[in-house]
Every structure is written in C-alpha cells, then in structure tokens.
Structure 1
Amino acid sequence: MPDEPHGAVAPSAGQALAQGWCALSSLHGRIETHIERALQARHDLSVREFSVLNVLSGQHDGDGGHLQMKQLADSVVLSQSATTRLVTRLEDRGLLARYICPGDRRGIYTDVSDEGLKLLEEARPTHDTALREALAEAARRPELAPLVAAVEGLTGTTC
C-alpha cells in the first residue's frame, strides 16, 4: 500500500461506504439545523413546514393545484402520520387547506393558501441564504468539502 502512511490500513469497501454515509449525514444535519434556526427566528417556520409549503407551491397553478396526502408525504420524505400532523398545524395557521377529492371521496387533497404562498415567498430568501451559509461553513471542513462540491454541482433536480 504505497499511498498509505506507515502502519495505516486502507478502509474496506464497507468501511468506506459507512464513512461516506456518516459524512453525508453530518452535512445534512448541519444544513438542516442552520436553516431551521434561521426560519424559526425570522418566520416562525420549521424546515419541514417550509418544505411542505414549497412542494405544494410547485403544484399551485391556480384552481386545482394540490396533492393527495400520500403524494405530499412522499415528496417531503415523512410518514403519512407525521405529514398529517404537520398539515394540521399548517392548516390551523391558515397556511393550507385540505379537501376531499370530488372524483374519489376517499382521497384527501392538500393545497397551499394565499397566506401560505405569501409566507413562503417571505421565507424563501432566508432559507436560501441559510443554505448558502451552511454550505460555505461545511466546505471549510475537509471531510465535508467533497460533498459540498457535489451538492453545488447538482442542477435541474427538484425538491
């Protein structure tokens, strides 16, 4: 092993994957915590609440822009029960509404309200600034810098 320091052992493929996963998890946690603090302080909004409003706003093109609860849960990577609790909190604040699907009485749709769209637009610059700050801070850590570069290189992906 010519590239390894004397006495060092190269990690196995499994160990390397575990280290990569650990770094990715660390990056995610750092970013989410930084954004959470900024959104809470300035807009009384959690990262998850922002994500729900953001996903629903992407579906919003006038009347009928909505998602079923299961689609919303999948989009924000939460269980259906956690999504229901989150939607209830946002609904109580007047930021979105739920209604029964006219074509399928079993389906429940969720749509962002005008008030929710307004709050989202007010919060988006805070979110984006906090994201840039968190990435810049993480980029200074050697173990996270390659992941930050990969994230910054992503284009055309949607959330």
Structure 2
Amino acid sequence: MTATDPALTALAQRWCALSLLHGRIESHIERALESGHGLSAREYSLLDVLSRQHDGPGGHLQMKQVADAVVLSQSATTRLVTRLEDRGLLTRYLCATDRRGIYTDVTAAGQELLEEARPTNDRALREALEEARKNPDLAPLVQVLEGETASV
C-alpha cells in the first residue's frame, strides 16, 4: 500500500473518527465524574477493574495486569493507586505465596464511591454516545459500540 492508496486513506479516516469518538466520550465522562464524585475517569476505571477481582486462585490482578486493564504504564498505575490509597479508597497488601507480588483491593469506602459513581458514568456514556450519533462520521461507530449491525 502507498500513502495514496484509497483503502489506507479510508482506514486512516476511520481511525481518526474512532479517536475523536473516544476523546469526546472520555471528556464527557471525565467532567461528569469529577463534578459529581471527585473522581477522574482513570480513577473510576481503576476502582471498577479492581472491584471485579475475586478471592481464590487467579482472583487478584498483578499490577501489570491492572496497568493493562486501565491502559496506563506500570509507573502511572502505581501513582494512581497511591493517590487512591491516600484517599482511603484502595489498600495494598503482599501476596501470601510470593512476597514480591503486591495486590490492590478496593476498600469499603472505595466500593461505596464506585457504586455512587456508576450511574453517573453510565449516564455520561449514554449522553456522549447520543451526541456522537448526530455526527455522520461517528454514527456508524456508535452503532457498532451499541451492538447494532452496521458496516464501518
């Protein structure tokens, strides 16, 4: 493929549309969570990921897995965990079988804040998608996200 290849150009345009949609959604959710609950979208995402852990074999995520789940570097994830730990929303502890492993759990206060923020997150997501649906370049992506059959 060359830079003038129509297939590559169309792919690049779809990538730009996807990037724009992501940015708009994240920005809308960020404002809603920050104003309503004092949480950033990343903080909410981290609390959500960690709240889905369970006890038992394979039930806890290592920091690398957490970083991958929230799409941050390990160092950025560690800083984020520290901020939430300082606020009493998370706690860290050593793995019982491997003292090098550190796990993170959501505290009761973190779980309570997450449950309060979840409807705000969901509402903001719905609002952002409804707004994006009005843009002809973004509407097909919204359809795909919502599980509707559409070719993008």
Aligned length: 144
Alignment of 1:64-75 (within 5 A): 66-75=60-69
2:81 aligns with one of 75, 87, 100: 87
Tell whether 2:132 aligns with 1:141.
no
Alignment of 1:8-23 (within 5 A): 12-23=6-17
2:110 aligned partner: 116
- SS of 1:102's partner is coil
Asked whether the 8 Å contact 1:138–1:148 carries over to 2, the reply is: yes
- SS of 2:52's partner is helix
1:54 aligned partner: 48
| Identity, % of aligned positions | 73
2:30 aligned partner, one-letter code: E
- SS of 1:153's partner is coil
Q: CA deviation at 1:66?
A: 3.4
CA distance in 1, matches of 2:45, 2:85: 15
CA distance in 2, matches of 1:65, 1:122: 24
1:4 aligned partner: none
1:29 aligns with one of 23, 33, 38: 23
Report which of the two structures shows the higher radius of gyration computed on alpha carbons. 1
CA distance in 1, matches of 2:47, 2:34: 15
- Structure 2: 5+ residue runs without aligned partners? none
- SS of 2:146's partner is helix
1:105 aligned partner: 99
- SS of 1:67's partner is coil
- SS of 2:100's partner is coil
| TM-score, normalisation: structure 1 | 0.86
1:45 aligned partner: 39
| TM-score, normalisation: structure 2 | 0.90
